[in-house]
């Protein structure tokens, strides 16, 4: 069985679709946490980045979850 993980991709395996979905959930969790920390203010966001703040990207997610 194949499912689409995005509108541009077709015939993705269920494992790949789960990986993409799990990444999206983690990224959303991190973005929500960031917004609560910075209050959504650009200056606070810049300070957060300058002091080592980082949101995971898909490549990092793949490396971290390599099976």
Whether 52 is in a domain gets the answer yes
Q: Is the pLDDT of residue 58 over 60?
A: yes
- Read off the tokens for 6: 């995005």
* Backbone φ/ψ region at 40: left (φ over 0), alpha (ψ -120 to 50), beta: left
For the chain, the domain total comes to: 1
Q: Is the pLDDT of residue 1 over 50?
A: no
Whether 15 is in a domain gets the answer no
Whether 10 is in a domain gets the answer no
Which residues constitute the domain of residue 29? 24-64
Q: What is the pLDDT of residue 3?
A: 55
pLDDT in tens, 8-57: 766 778 888 888 899 999 999 999 999 999 998 999 999 999 999 999 99
Whether 31 is in a domain gets the answer yes
Whether 9 is in a domain gets the answer no
Q: Is the pLDDT of residue 5 over 70?
A: no
Report yes or no: 34 and 48 within 8 Å, Cβ to Cβ: yes
Whether 1 is in a domain gets the answer no
**Cα distances (Å, whole numbers) of residue 57 to 1, 3, 43:** 27, 22, 22
Q: Which of 37, 15, 33, 27 is nearest to 59 (CA)?
A: 27
């Amino acid at each position: 069985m194949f499912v689409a993980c995005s509108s541009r991709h077709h015939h993705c395996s269920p494992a790949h679709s789960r990986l993409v979905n799990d990444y999206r959930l983690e990224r959303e969790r991190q973005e929500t946490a960031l917004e609560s920390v910075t209050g959504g203010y650009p200056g606070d966001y810049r300070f957060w980045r300058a002091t080592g703040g980082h949101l995971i990207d898909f490549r990092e997610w793949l490396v971290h979850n390599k099976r």
